[in-house]
Amino acid sequence: MARSRLTDITEDLNSDSGSVLWSIVKGEQLEFPIVLNFIENFPITVNGLPAHPASKYTYEAVVVEAANVAFQEEKPITIQPNGINLNLTVRIPTYRGNWDAQQAYNKEEVVAYGNKYYKLLVGAARTSAITPDLDSLWEETTLNKVYLQFPGTMGSGWAVSPIVSFPVYGFFEMRVTEPQDAVFRRTWKPIRGMVEILFSPTDVVPDG
């Protein structure tokens, strides 16, 4: 078989599932789970203690104000000159190691039990003799999951505000970087896209 020409592309070796659109009503404060498939789904050890594997990575998640215009019918394609840039928080769950009936656990903490991982849905300093696989207050989870937080202030101070039928937009990207001790420190940008901010009546009426 003849060799292919360099410009005759037949396969994309570095593909993704496409860009995302986060649709948020102005003033909402939301948290979304993000599964990072390149993070291994088993715990690590930090200072001799079990730790969440996602904790060894560095995260950057941002929203950049787009060049919105009033009554826009199409999504903007450029950023707002001297616009507002927002850094988002990436929350990493606390991993507590093997489940122990004598230990007290807090909401969102993660444990291992029976070759699976569970997070506590509610509670503070909660103890129970019921194992996580049988306790409805525990939910099965994975250790390659982090949580992306959008603050309620997002969109405040932007050059254009959303109105009833016309949202405004920002550009979104999340970056994940390996620890400093990696042989070749890789950086992924697994999620990119836009944030759509919709009009909110409760945002324009002062709190009573």
Spell out the per-residue pLDDT of the chain, length 208, in tens: 678 877 787 787 777 777 999 999 999 999 999 999 999 999 999 888 899 999 999 999 999 999 999 999 999 999 999 999 999 999 999 999 999 999 999 999 999 999 999 999 999 999 999 999 999 999 999 999 999 999 999 999 999 999 999 999 999 999 999 988 878 999 999 999 999 999 999 998 888 7
CA 172 to CA 62: how far, in whole Å? Answer: 6
Residue 15 placed within a domain: no
Could you tell me the pTM of the whole model? 0.90
Could you list the residue range(s) of the whole structural domain that residue 74 is in?
20-204
Residue 187, amino acid: T
Residue 5 placed within a domain: no
Residue 42 placed within a domain: yes
Residue 69 placed within a domain: yes
Residue 10 placed within a domain: no
Number of domains forming the structure of the chain: 1
Residue 1 placed within a domain: no
Residue 13 placed within a domain: no
Contacts of 147 (CB under 8 A, 6+ apart): 31, 32, 33, 34, 90, 91, 92, 93
CA 119 to CA 26: how far, in whole Å? Answer: 30
